[in-house]
Each structure stands twice: as C-alpha cells, then as structure tokens.
Structure 1
Amino acid sequence: MKSGVAKTLYAVVTALVLSAVTVSALPPVVLSKDASGVITNTNLSLLLKVNPSSDATQRFIPDGSKLVSDNFVLKIDDRGLGTFRGFVKFVTPDGKVVLGGVLEGVAGLTVRREDGGDSRYPGHLVGIIHLPPVNTGSGPKITTTPVPTTGSDKALSATDSPVPNVVEEPVCEIIFMMDLMAQSASPVPMYRGHLDGLVTPPAPPPPPKVMIRSDRLQYPPDAPVMAIIENGDTRAIQGHAFYSYCTIVRMERLEAEAWKPYAMCLLTGGPAVVIKPGERKTVLLPPDATVPAVKDPGTYRLTLAFEVLDSAGTPLPDPHVAVSPPFQVLGPDPGRVVVAS
C-alpha cells in the first residue's frame, strides 16, 4: 500500500505529464528502444536508439532521445537485491518532453529463469514504466427518483449523487530491463538494456499556419501569375526550387477533373528556399521576363510542398502541402485583333 505522500506525488507527476504532453485518441503503438547510460542511486539518464525491427515511435521519439529522471531512487542491499522508483520523461534531442510516467521495479532478480532455477541476477534491473490513472474528482451528478416506503420509514427523496469521473487515460506500459556494464571504465555506473512496450502516441501538432494564394482570381493568358506565400507559423519552413518554372511553387491545371502539373522544371533537384516565421514571400510565375508567360485557358491552382525546420534548422520528418484557392486563366479576347504584316 502506497503512503499518502506517495499517492500525492503520483497525482502530481500525472498532472505534470498530462499537461506537458498532448494526448491523442490514436491506438497504442509498439515502443522498442535500445538504451544505454548512467543509473545511480539518485539519477537516471539513458540514451535511446530505435529498434528498427519493431519500434513504431520514431516520429515522436527519434534516435538521440533520452529517458531521464531527476528524482530516481535505487536502493540495493549487501546481497545485491533491492528496488527502484522514479518519475521518468522521454525527452527528444531538441528538449521536448513527449511522454512520461512512473518507473518502478526490482534490482538483482530476473524474470527469465528456468523452472527451478535461481532468480537472483546481480546487476540486473527489471521494472515497468506506466502512467498512473488520473482521479479528476466528482463527475456529473446522477439524479435518482424517490423510492416509496411503508410504515414508519421515511420516504427516500430524490438525491443528486456524484459519481467518480472516469476518464480514458493514455496507454503507457513499458517493460524496463537493464544490465550493469561491469567492464565499463566510467566512474559512474553504466547500464545497457532495452525498453519494450505499448504507448499512446501524442497528438500530432496542428498543421503549420502557411498559406499560398494568387494575387488575382483571373488572368489574361499572357500575364504572369504572382504567388503569395505567408508563413504565419512560429517556425521557419523550406521548399525546394524544382517545380513550375523551376521555383518552389507548383502550378496545376484542372484537366478531366484531375489536377495536372503545369510548366514543370526539367531539373531533378533544386536549392532549398527558407521562409522565416512571419515572412511574406512572392514568387512570379514565370520569374524571368525572357520566359513566355502564355498559358492555356482554364482553372488553375498553386501548391507549396514544404518542410518545417526545427530550432537547429533541420527539417522535421513530416512534409506538408499548402494549396491555394483556384483561379482562372481566360481565353484570348475575341475583340482583340492582331494584324500580321
């Protein structure tokens, strides 16, 4: 039975974890990481590496992430037996907390013994990381109807009975297995092992606030189109200049109810173009006056394929596409007469 202090700490860490992590309704996925690092009596810091054969958390816990605990407690007696407990967080290389929970387990024992074999295993830690359930207090009240009685019993009146508020908490159940690296020359205890379990992925971040539009809704067939890109996000983005007219913008024409690329670049790659947070960028299609601007009449739109950059300027793994409202390229003016001499 946990003490009242322990229960309070459990509630505190749960609230902190849930406030730091955006929980989603996505189904649980497999977490499978190789781990190595420092575990002392009061501290835990493990570097994580993806197990490519099983892990499905690379999107939000990439290589280079860490499992850390600042209030870890490991107690081992003279026999090499003991227990450990701590509040742990999964932290990405850029310092973002994406998952957390309570780690607790035993030291000096193994769960992989043969029938009748010795369960003692010096230097071995085995435990589980889980997110404790959340008690949010009383939920909605349920009104009961009066129950008629006879004799001297007083009638039971209608009451408003509060019921516990049951919430669907995220899944975080991870098996934690570590072994002491006895041959390590480090002055602090070094461990190596594995983390394997099921976790609910955090909700994906909202799409970046990036917009693209044309400067007009109608164009003559020989007029260049001005694409206007606005990065309303707090992060920089980048596109690559190998789309229409070798720019970062892809112009598409509606043909047979399908959008087809128009005036695409013959290059297979192009330079990256960075658009800073809050920046407004214009792209002229075509960008060079020496390139004919004449386009076929019809319905067009503009798209921008881009990547969001992290604080170090590294592209994040999930690409995005911004799409403009459609616009029209008109046919030749029938009143316009061209006389050839």
Structure 2
Amino acid sequence: MDSSYTNFEKYGSLIAEIHGKVSSMLQQSDYESLEQCETVEDMVVRLSHTSYASYLSEELQFNKKEFLKRLNKSFYNEFMYMYRNSENDLKLLLNYFIEVIKIQNFIFLLASKSEDPDLKCMEEIDMLGNFNELDAIKISADMSDVYKFCVESTFLKKYYDKVYIEKEFAKNDWQIIQSTFFKNHIENFYDQINNLDTMDYMKEILKYEGDRKIIELTINTLDSVDIVDKKRIDLYPTVCSFDRGSICKMSECTSMESIRDVLCGHPMYKKIVMYEDNDFMKNLFDLEIKNYLSSLSEFNDLSCTYCYFKLKEREIKNIMWIAECISHENKEGMKDVMVIEN
C-alpha cells in the first residue's frame, strides 16, 4: 500500500486538527486589541474569547508572573494531552520537543548552582521540561553527584558522555556545554528520522534550527578569544544548510559585518542581512515563523505538530512582550511583536 495513503489513515485526523489549531491562533487584529490595554487585567479580558480563556479568570488579580504561569499551564496541558495520546513516530517527534526543554532546564540549574546552591530558581524552569531527577541537583555537591543522581538513568547520559565537564560547578563554561548538548541532540534526532516518511519536512526544520544555532553561537562568541576557528566548528551542528566553505568562513567571523558577508552567499538568508543588527535577528525569527507555517502545506506530514507547538511558544512570548511593554509604558516596543498569520 502507498505510504502516503497509510500515513493519511493513521494521522489524517490529527493533521486536520493541527490545521484547525493554527487557524485559531491570535491574528493581527487580536494583537492590535491587546496593544490598547493599560494593564494585565485588561489583557485578560481581551483574551477571554481565545483558547486561553479557561486559564484566565477575570476574578483573579494578575501580575506578570501569574499571567505567564497561566499561559504556560495552558500550553503544558495542550501539549501533554497530545503527548499522552501519541505513539510511534508522533511520540518520537514530541519527545524531541520535550528533550530540548529538558536540556535547557538541566543546564540552567547547573549554571545557577554556584550562586544559588539551594536552587530557589527551580520555580523558573519550564514545567514541560521538568523531570524527577532534576531535584537531585539541589543536593549534589559536585558534578559527580549530578551524574550519579540526575544523568546516569536518563536520556541525558548519551549526550553527557560526549562532553568534557569539570567536577566543580564553577569551573565549567555552561554556554559551551549547552551548545555541545544541543549539537549532539539535533544530530541524533536527525539520524533517527532520516529514513521515516512521516515527517520529511522536519528534516528541513532541523536544518534551519541548526543554521540558527550556528548563527547565534557565532554572534555570542564574537568577542571570545577562545571559541574561534576549529573550536567554533566543533560546536556547530552538522545538521544545517550551510556548505563546508560557509561553515569555515563563519567560524572565522569577528564582527556582525563579517557574518552578513557569509550569509549574503546563502539563498535563504541573503534577503535578511541588509538590516541593522537588531532588525537582522528579528528577521531571522520572522523567517523561522514562515518556515514553521510552511509545514501546513506538506501532505500527510507530522512535522506540522512540532511546528504548531513552536508557533504556540512564540504566541505566548508575543503576549508576554506586550505585557512587559505595558508595564514599562513602552508602546513603541510593541512593534517588535512577531505576528503569526497563516
């Protein structure tokens, strides 16, 4: 039987559901309405007709922290409902989504351990990426304890074993360690799905996300005297759309201008490198949104599930950015919202 027909039989209703979810996301008019608000409470009222309504009771006194908590709870419940009802390829895809957040939480707590030994910052981690073993970091005296109680029995082990980590928390460069974790994680997942016909477009998404990690790592290490040339290349994921020559040039960049010069030779990025630094990054994220939305045009492709949740993450960031601008009376800053319109 043709694989596309088989995929339709298995996942057709799910993919149709995802299309419906994307179409119900906030539109330009919704953001314009939110931008007219004076307080978080006003925003709660304006969101009463959206998917967030059941999590935002108008009777509660909302501050930004509580507002974000409720929005994240909405996201968590929606994701976990789909996750608990998934299997096979869809489970694999959603596991990848969760594991990225688990890695972020893991590195965040380790990086905080020296200055916050009791990890009071634990409440700041993403609830979707929380797992029982993370609590062990609180009582860990050094990285040997972390490995024994938090890593050894979890998915982290296969990535941890590929990274050199000092025993004392403070002696580690957590930016490098996180980059190495992400590099190995994205490469491993790409290999897992390379021969699957249920998420062909996901391979393109991973290449784009690999590109973004390369660009961001290069920007973040422009002032570094240690992370240059081969050391940068070692941190770059091999899952990307850059050719070998561009990778070598990127590893040698010492300024935003030199990064732009490299990107000018790339068919996907050459149109967005003519802007100022801040606009360049915004346009990079705008392109990301377009790439996620393009998943909806793929026939019988599970990638749209992953892309929907990435778009939903962006929507919550948009809402919270408006709330932040309102609290600082910064109406001008609201123009930086990245509207998601299908």
TM range (shorter): under 0.3
Higher-helix-fraction structure: 2
Q: TM-score, normalised by structure 2?
A: 0.21
Q: TM-score, normalised by structure 1?
A: 0.21
Higher-strand-fraction structure: 1
Question: Which of structures 1 and 2 has the larger relative contact order (alpha carbons within 8 angstroms, sep 6+)?
Answer: 2
> Larger Cα Rg: Structure 1 or Structure 2?
1
